[in-house]
Structures are given as structure tokens and as C-alpha cells.
Structure 1
């Protein structure tokens, strides 16, 4: 049975984790997640993406029983595939919103970190508890968490393995918005739907400029921005947006 699905409606693709009761991220789910992230990247009818685990839980981490059976050689062989699955989500060149309910722990938190925005339920709990297993995060947590909340806060969460509730997650910048649990998906859908109406190439340019710029020095980052900025002058969306601004005023352009 497929444990993760892609559902598309009105420009928004929802990647839905479906491995009850806790959406444990086993190898099969990881591999399918990568396939669906790549599909969402390719499809023109997907202009924004939501990552969602359902009403009760986002994802409570890796499948520990599956991991327990793996030795050093097996994990050396698997660890790149694990990271590649999450990186495929992070590199979707479209806006990605994580709709976080319940637990987002370990790999679940790392998956949320791959999104551009995180909307959390008021009962959500997030964390990187791998240290309690004698491990460290292995799906990007040591890198993406520190880039998002800073190295000190990241080390606090990773060194202690403690969970943070939604309000603390909001305070430290781990999530962007906290809403009642029953409204998480709807709020994420509203956000994604709004972004799906924007200029697709400009949104891709903005995302890649920010993400790539974070990995390099300021001069190289400015060169990346400059290349994208100039390139967008060749697009129909730029013509449409500027014409609408001149003729109708700001914020009224409708993009294809």
C-alpha cells in the first residue's frame, strides 16, 4: 500500500503522508516521497505544494524498528538515499508549505524544515530527539535547523533531544504561524493557493536566489540574484505584471 500520495487541485499539490498511526518514515515512504517531490517539480499544474500528515500527526520520525536492524555498512549505503529524499522536497522550485499537526519529531521535523513555510497546530510538538537514541539527525537536521533558527538554538534542540511546543517553536522561528489544530490544513491551503496565483518563474527565481545565496558569499549571491533578475525581463509574466501596474495600479496583475 502506498504510504504517501500526491493530490492536485486548482494549482496546489498536497503531498499527503499516510502511514498510520504515526507516519513513521520507513525506507519505502522515503523513496516514494522523493518520487512525488520530483513529480511535483515537473508538473505544470502544480504551482505550490503542501506537505501534510493528516489531522492527528505530521510525522513522528523514522521507523525505529527498521533502523534497529541496520548495521554500519547498511546505513552507509542508505544514508545518501535518506538525505536525497528530503533534499528533493527542499529543491521543489515552487513555494512549499508544511502543515504541521501533532508530532513532528526526528525525520518529521526534518521534513518540515524542507518547506519554505511552516504552519503549526496549537497542539504541535517539534524536535530532534535522535540524541536520545545515541544518534544525530541524519536527514538534514543539523544543517537546515541551524540555518533556520541559528546554531545556538539548533544545538539546544539537538543536544538535549527535547520537544518544543508550538508557541516556543514560533518564538524561535522554527514555525511561521500557529493556528487551531482544526484549521491547519485550511490555513496552509489558503497560503499555498495565494502563492499558486503568482508568477511561477519569478517565484522560482526568488526561491532559488534566497536558497542558493545562503550557501555562498554575498558577492556570489548577488550574482545569482542579478542573473535571475535580468532573466525575468524576458518573461511574459514580467510584461503582464508591469503593464497591469501602469494601467490598473499595483497588485492587480493576473498571471498565467
Structure 2
């Protein structure tokens, strides 16, 4: 099997490539760990000035691999008819703290990161786009916070960034409704810097990376450090610490009989059918 994360280096440009095209580059928890390790290696490589984050195949990233998430949180049914014991809060907090640190790594990268977005960009994939320095998408890319329909309802890792990006009312709309929007809408909302036809996506990203790389190395890292300090004055780092506690709470809800229970539907009907049923409830 090919690795889930590929790394290319081309002069001053590093490319971190999500490589599960058959799954629309859904990330397992271990894949995100590997991606952050590759990010840190690019930060430490003095030849690299700018980093491109992209996905192989049809999509940028469709979020977390939900089957892996269920296993990682200890919620997988291992024996028919036997409900798994819910994991402890301390184990959940440890897991979610690691996830929060991984997202934080992209906001606090020492070097500029450009996201190249095509196809589906949802959940964790959209988090990464919201957190990196620059983003360019295809006009027909499809974005959504549909992960919020799993019981989060506006409880995310980086609300400060989302409120600053979209404005308070629009952030609440995107998180509570979880509707899809395309690349042109993403540009209008301020999520991406530019939306272009699919055939121009790669050349546009590569041109931006080349132009960014004209800056001196020290200027790039000091400029990013000052940007990070400005974000911190607006709560930029605190949002992740609040976010991982919120994620543990938000994924540990008591669901009433008249409320949609994704885990129960997944157990009875499978993951794909459960997602389809979830969307029928909200659409």
C-alpha cells in the first residue's frame, strides 16, 4: 500500500499530499499525525520557503475517516449485541488534545502554507483550509461543515478563526445548517483567496507559491511570527485548548429517543447508510 501522506520537494516548495484518493482523502487519526510530522520536517528544512497542502485524486479531503474515529474512541461494536463500554473522559481528553494540537500546528506553521482545494472539502479538510495562510480552490469544489450534524451543532476546534473569517452570524449559519457551498461562494465568504476553473487550479497555486518564495527566508518566518502574535491577541491559541474540551463534550452527548443517533444507525445499517439518513434529517 502507498503511504497515506506523500511529500514532494521542488526547490523552495514542499508539497504535502493527502493520498487516499479512493476515500476522497479521508484522514485516519494516524494520518493526521503523519501529516503534522511532515509539516514539521518542511518547517525545519532550510531549503523550503513555502508549503503546498493538496489532495490526490478527485477531492482535497472529505474529513476524518469515521470508521477509524469510532475505533479510535473505543466506540466500535466488537461483539454482536454487546454495547461497548464508553471510554473514560480522561482517555477522550488525551485523544482530543492531540487532535487539537495537530490543527494548531497548521495555524502556527513557521512557514506559509497554501491549500489547493478541489472536489470535496468537509470536516477536518475544511478545518485545515480555515487554518492555513492562503487557499485557492476550484470553482466546483464543494465545502461544508456537515460534521456538525453529528451532534456538535457549532462546537468546533477553532471558533475564533471561524468567527473572524465569516463573521458571527454567518459562522453560526455554516455550523448549524452544515449546507454545501462551492468555490465561488468560498471566495465570497473569505474562506479562500481565489476560486478558479479546475484546469487552472494547479498552475495558479504553483504561481502563488513561486511568488511567495521570492521573499527572504528570515522575512517569511518573522512575518508569520508577527501574524501569529496578532492572532494570539484575538484568542488564536486559546481557541484550541477550549476546542478540544468542547469536542470531548460534544461527542459524548446523551441522545433522546426522538433525536437522530448516528452511532445507533451506523450499528444497524452501516456507515454509508447512516450518513445518508443523517442528511435526510437535516436537508
TM-score under structure 1 length normalisation: 0.79
Deviations 1:60-92 (Å, cap 9, x if unpaired)?
011111223325535322111112122222222
Cα distance change of structure 1 residues 141 and 107 upon mapping to structure 2, 3 Å threshold: farther
Query: Secondary structure, in 3 states, of the residue corresponding to 1:50?
Result: strand
Alpha-carbon RMSD across the aligned residues, in angstroms, is 1.8
- Helix, strand or coil for the counterpart of 1:7? strand
Q: CA deviation at 1:190?
A: 0.9
Residue aligning to 2:60: 58
2:214 maps to 197
Give yes or no for contact 1:110–1:139 (8 Å, CA) kept in 2: no
1:94 corresponds, among 111, 133, 142, to: 111
Aligned with 1:188 (options 200, 205, 212) = 205
SS of corresponding position for 1:214? helix
Deviates more, 1:53-62 or 1:203-212: 203-212
CA distance in 2, matches of 1:45, 1:123: 34
Gaps of 5+ in 1: 218-256
Shift of 1:208: 1.8
Residue 136 of structure 1 and its aligned partner are, at CA, apart by 5.2
CA distance in 2 between counterparts of 1:137 and 1:40 reads 33
In the TM superposition, what is the alpha-carbon distance from 1:57 to its structure 2 partner? 0.3
Q: 1:41 aligns with which of 43, 66, 75?
A: 43
Q: Supply the distance in 1 between the matched residues of 2:62 and 2:37 (Cα, whole angstroms).
A: 21
- 1:211 Cα offset (Å): 2.4
Aligned residue pairs total 217
- In 1, Cα distance between the equivalents of 2:8 and 2:60? 17
| Structure 2 residue aligned with 1:168 | 185
State the match for 1:79 in structure 2.
96
Could you state the TM-score of these two structures normalised by the residue count of structure 2? 0.72
Which residue does 1:117 correspond to in 2? 134
Taking the aligned partners of 2:53 and 2:11, their CA distance within structure 1 comes to: 16
Equivalent-residue separation in structure 2 for 1:116 and 1:139 (angstroms): 19
Cα distance in 2 between the residues matched to 1:137 and 1:182: 34
Structure 2: where are the runs of 5+ without partners? 74-85, 235-283
From the superposition, tell whether residues 72 and 135 of structure 1 become closer, same or farther in structure 2 (CA, over 3 Å).
farther
Displacement of 1:101 after TM fit?
Answer: 0.4
Distance in 2 (CA, whole Å) between partners of 1:138 and 1:188 is 31
Q: Is the 8 A contact 1:106 1:129 kept in 2?
A: yes
Instruction: Give SS of 1:84's match.
Output: helix
